[in-house]
Structure 1
Amino acid sequence: MPAAPHDLDQTFLALPLRALADAALARARALGAEHADFRLERVRSAMWRLRDARTSATSDTTDLGYAVRVVHNGAWGFAAGVDLTMDAAARVAGQAVAMAKLSAKVAEAAGTGTAAPSTSAEGRRWVTGGKVELADEPVHPDRTWVSSYEIDPFGVPDAEKTGLLAEWSARLLAAPGVAHVDAQLLAAQENKFYADTAGTSTTQQRIRLHPELTAVAVDPATGDFESMRTLAPPVGRGWEYLTGGYDWAGELDRMPEHLAEKLRAPSVEPGSYDLVIDPSNLWLTIHESIGHATELDRALGYEAAYAGTSFATFDQLGSLVYGSPIMQVTGDRTVEHGLATVGYDDEGVAAQSWDLIKDGILTGYQLDRRMAKLTGFPRSNGCAYADSPSHVPVQRMANVSLRPAPDGPSTEELIAGVERGIYLVGDRSWSIDMQRYNFQFTQQRAYLVRNGRLAGQLRDVAYQATTTDFWGSMVALGGPQTYVLGGAFNCGKAQPGQIAAVSHGCPSAVFEGVNVLNTTQEAGR
């Protein structure tokens, strides 16, 4: 059931939100801006870290400020400030307009119009020349939205947080073979007020948590060591996630045994295997090979500086065979407890859910208002986000998820259908090229599958493929009972760099004939 709704934080509402916005937007209009938006944010981020059940580090910081973004004479302008007075807000708006005027002159002198240069001939057709225009969006006046959670983690005493982490750490340390335990809890509360010259104004509040424990085992005879992390994903939930929203006791009880088995497991024989991939691993492959690849700014070549562009170029929309016909992938800014779930994005666009891949064919992209207008989409799907009041909004990832088979089997049933394969659990390391095409992933645990049964863990396993070959090899999907919403707190993009949290849901799935590497051999050891 959805969590009971919370009220917006009164200390945030007590700030002069509308007065500052009115002063900034009025000044931008007076200076001739075709569009202006104002965004005031208060982002509180905290961390508690323990080493072997003892506190090793804590932090609790708050970033408070506001930004004004304008379109003036077809060019972007942006400025930010921290002085919460009407005069200062108007002055920041003036700086944003001045920046737009300068940007227009620089672009004109460079002969590139008012957009960024592209890295490819196809992309250059879209992102050079012309004026900045934004796709239309209905006006959303006086809207509020609060994410779904029960207990605000910032209302829980620090001693209770570190005490629970210490208790869990001690439980692991008491198990035979566990030499060290690292525990960490990350928490964030994001309050945001947005207003623009069209008349939209939104006030939002989001909570998110990422608890994590890592156990280390050392073989005293050989000096070999292995580590293993909890599989619990980060979530858009509150403190209840640590006290009843996940089977922490069960996972902590099983970890030492899994870790001991991993330490003595044989090294994998490289070759072609059928893979059964658990959601705790597959979410990251979705993130890297689908999530980033279907960001339209990457597909156009507009974004190329941080982690590259995309093989899924715009001319292939509606025709690119991304994967097998059973592949259905959605972009979603609305799913409950999603890390990228919002009511409205940082351009005042209402949250939506839409198809990215349907029956294995590329059918959509993630858009902001600029990218939507540039390529003829009638509307943005709400993917603009800035991680700080001092940063300009950029196109960021929605919750990108692979749908389960409606009446699909359990994970155990998927494994039972594999004669020679490997079952992969938990994410670990990854590598992917600058076009999101050639990749390699490892895992927390890998199990040999022989004649439909698990036959013990393997070490040194990595799977390698190209994006379309990999997703084209998907032959079976688990049912809704296997579906898990995984994700990360630390997706990076843009320069200067920005960090965003994002979730990816998926079921267990089977992939035929995937190339498996032995990482120790690949490293020349």
Structure 2
Amino acid sequence: MLWRSRTPAGHDSLRTRRCEGKSAVPPQQEHTVDPTFLALPLRALADAALARARALGADHADFRLERVRSAAWRLRDARPAGSSDSTDLGYAVRVVHGGAWGFASGVDLTMDAAAKVASQAVAMAKLSAQVIAAAGSDEKVELADEPVHADRTWVSSYETDPFAVPDADKTGLLAEWSSRLLAADGVSHVDASLIAVHENKFYADTAGTTTTQQRVRLHPQLTAVSVDPDTGGFDSMRTLAPPVGRGWEYLTGDVWDWDGELARIPELLAEKMRAPSVEAGTYDLVVDPSNLWLTIHESIGHATELDRALGYEAAYAGTSFATFDQLGSLTYGSPHMHVTGDRTAEHGLATVGYDDEGVAGQSWDLVKDGVLVGYQLDRRIARLTGFARSNGCAYADSPGHVPVQRMANVSLQPAPDGPSTEELISGVERGIYVVGDRSWSIDMQRYNFQFTGQRFFRIENGRLAGQLKDVAYQATTTDFWGSMEAVGGPQTYVLGGAFNCGKAQPGQVAAVSHGCPSALFRGVNILNTTQEAGR
């Protein structure tokens, strides 16, 4: 699930330039891995740790050294309100010994310390094996076979490392954008923020795989707030630009129409403040990618994590109604539904060259023609359930955490010759066009849900007829996706996503993208959120 403290934004198909979207293997960039990371004793530490694990009888061992720099800048009404800049540097050793997992981590970059961490990991595996045996279980940890990738290097797709840009330039741009919004009639306050991450990772295992990787990502966001001085009523409107696996060029280049989006927000917010409350009932919906990505995340992304479907994972987001016995038979949605898992989408937040088990990034089907045909897998779950191999979904968010099965870029594919958003709207007599994400609620089986949004436009006789407010759409997962009558073409496709997907205990947070086109849904139940709250 997503942590509610920082709900990210999507994108408005009718009003803003698109990010390029279709999944493709990212090209090798001109960038090289940061030499200060390469100067660390990566291979020497790995050799010491893996040699110790072998000597102690480990069936498998892997070593992962990470340096993750994360920074954030926050402004309130164009004035600095806070900032942070931290670096997490360390390494981890994971082993399979006696059919059980063992894990330990450290920060002392010496060979002796790395060997000691490996010893601790083996000792943990031995203790785990005793606990498992005492519980009467004979289940053994085994990993699916994978090709060996020796001395591979991968760098994500970006132009300018955001950490190469002076902080004054970052806060200056956010302040300038905030000032534009504050100068508009009806805007009372503006919050602005930017999160940047630079991630380096070195991986080695006893099979011979060694990989070195570098990724950057950005999450910019501005929120305008309007307060009615007479009634005290207030509302807000947020930018729809999604978080991306890009560099500073996302804020200063022609990837996104920031000027256009900022210019439209005050007028849209003023209209929202005056908008009538929705009448609860059944409506046809045209859902914009800026909203639909989150519904995909919660009702498909988490539900097709196979560890959840098997009941091995239930933290935060629960298990899954899409159980393993229904693979190949569960009707997830309409025949127009084609959903992929993808670790290769260019600029995707979950895009990697290799995962944290040394598995190369891949793309595969999860739902095809409306039927469940695949899951997201790591090596252990793949072997446990009879799959030939993993599809590269192991990830740890820090060197102090063990890799767990994490979400790929899960995306709804567009129709090759599909309609525009305007054409989808033109086919609706009475409905609502839903733009931007806001709050959400879904049960622990990923089945019953309701979602709200940033902006809701009434559709009358195929045309937009002003905004509504207090709107939430409610359904079961299979009913909702079963009601999808049409998906837009590639021109409507946007790669949305989030920085804040939470999973596991102890909790981990990962960034993930979800691409989708605009889509038309028939006969969806609409709630009035004010009435539902008893107000």
Q: Please, what TM-score do these two structures have when normalized by structure 2?
A: 0.95
- Which of the numbers 32, 40, 61 marks the counterpart of 2:65? 40
- Which of the numbers 253, 256, 280 marks the counterpart of 2:266? 256
Q: Which runs of 4+ in 1 moved over 4 A?
A: 1-4
1:304 shift after superposition: 1.3
For 1:38, what is the secondary structure of its paired residue?
strand
- Which of the numbers 221, 235, 257 marks the counterpart of 1:247? 257
- 1:377 corresponds to which residue? 387
CA distance in 2, matches of 1:99, 1:521: 54
Q: Contact 2:302 / 2:317 at 8 angstroms: preserved in 1?
A: no
1:306 shift after superposition: 2.7
1:219 shift after superposition: 1.3
- 1:271 corresponds to which residue? 281
CA distance in 2, matches of 1:231, 1:173: 18
User: 2:241 matched to 1:232?
Assistant: yes
CA distance in 2, matches of 1:222, 1:248: 32
Query: 1:21 is aligned with what amino acid?
Result: A
For 2:452, what is the secondary structure of its paired residue?
strand
CA distance in 2, matches of 1:295, 1:238: 29
For 2:401, what is the secondary structure of its paired residue?
coil
Q: Contact 2:343 / 2:361 at 8 angstroms: preserved in 1?
A: yes
- Which of the numbers 190, 202, 207 marks the counterpart of 1:198? 207
Q: Which runs of 5+ in 1 are unaligned?
A: 114-128
CA deviations over 1:338-372 (Å, ceiling 9, x no partner): 00000000000000000000000000000000000
Q: Contact 1:3 / 1:150 at 8 angstroms: preserved in 2?
A: no
Query: 2:531 is aligned with what amino acid?
Result: Q
Q: Contact 2:29 / 2:155 at 8 angstroms: preserved in 1?
A: no
1:428 shift after superposition: 0.3
Query: 2:477 is aligned with what amino acid?
Result: T
For 1:356, what is the secondary structure of its paired residue?
strand
- 1:309 corresponds to which residue? 319
For 1:337, what is the secondary structure of its paired residue?
coil
User: 2:153 matched to 1:144?
Assistant: yes
1:5 shift after superposition: 2.4
1:139 shift after superposition: 0.3
CA distance in 2, matches of 1:453, 1:85: 67
CA deviations over 1:66-111 (Å, ceiling 9, x no partner): 0000000100000000000000000000000000000000111112
Counterparts in 2 of 1:91-130, with a 5 A limit?
91-111=116-136, 113=137, 129-130=138-139
Q: Which runs of 5+ in 2 are unaligned?
A: 1-19, 21-26
1:45 shift after superposition: 0.2
1:3 shift after superposition: 8.3
User: 2:319 matched to 1:294?
Assistant: no
Kindly tell me the number of residue pairs found equivalent between the two proteins: 509
Q: Contact 2:185 / 2:266 at 8 angstroms: preserved in 1?
A: yes
User: 2:195 matched to 1:186?
Assistant: yes
Q: Contact 1:400 / 1:503 at 8 angstroms: preserved in 2?
A: yes
CA distance in 2, matches of 1:328, 1:390: 37
Q: Contact 2:29 / 2:156 at 8 angstroms: preserved in 1?
A: no
Query: 2:454 is aligned with what amino acid?
Result: Q
- 1:15 corresponds to which residue? 40
CA distance in 2, matches of 1:246, 1:11: 32
1:220 shift after superposition: 1.6
- 2:524 corresponds to which residue? 514
CA distance in 2, matches of 1:400, 1:47: 26
For 1:344, what is the secondary structure of its paired residue?
coil
Counterparts in 2 of 1:371-450, with a 5 A limit?
371-450=381-460
Query: 1:460 is aligned with what amino acid?
Result: D
CA deviations over 1:8-58 (Å, ceiling 9, x no partner): 000000000000000000000000000000000000000000000000000
- 1:362 corresponds to which residue? 372
For 1:206, what is the secondary structure of its paired residue?
strand
For 1:212, what is the secondary structure of its paired residue?
strand
For 1:500, what is the secondary structure of its paired residue?
strand
User: 2:82 matched to 1:73?
Assistant: no
- 1:116 corresponds to which residue? none
CA deviations over 1:258-300 (Å, ceiling 9, x no partner): 0000000000000000000000000000000000000000000
Q: Contact 1:5 / 1:148 at 8 angstroms: preserved in 2?
A: no
CA deviations over 1:191-220 (Å, ceiling 9, x no partner): 000000000000000000000000000112
Q: Contact 2:102 / 2:121 at 8 angstroms: preserved in 1?
A: yes
For 1:131, what is the secondary structure of its paired residue?
coil
Query: 2:147 is aligned with what amino acid?
Result: P
- 2:9 corresponds to which residue? none
- 1:31 corresponds to which residue? 56
CA distance in 1, matches of 2:140, 2:146: 18
- Using the aligned pairs only, state the percent identity: 84
CA distance in 1, matches of 2:471, 2:80: 34
For 1:59, what is the secondary structure of its paired residue?
strand
Q: Contact 1:179 / 1:215 at 8 angstroms: preserved in 2?
A: yes
- Which of the numbers 466, 470, 486 marks the counterpart of 1:476? 486
CA distance in 2, matches of 1:522, 1:351: 44
1:305 shift after superposition: 2.8
- 1:218 corresponds to which residue? 227
User: 2:69 matched to 1:59?
Assistant: no
Query: 2:169 is aligned with what amino acid?
Result: E
Counterparts in 2 of 1:491-506, with a 5 A limit?
491-506=501-516
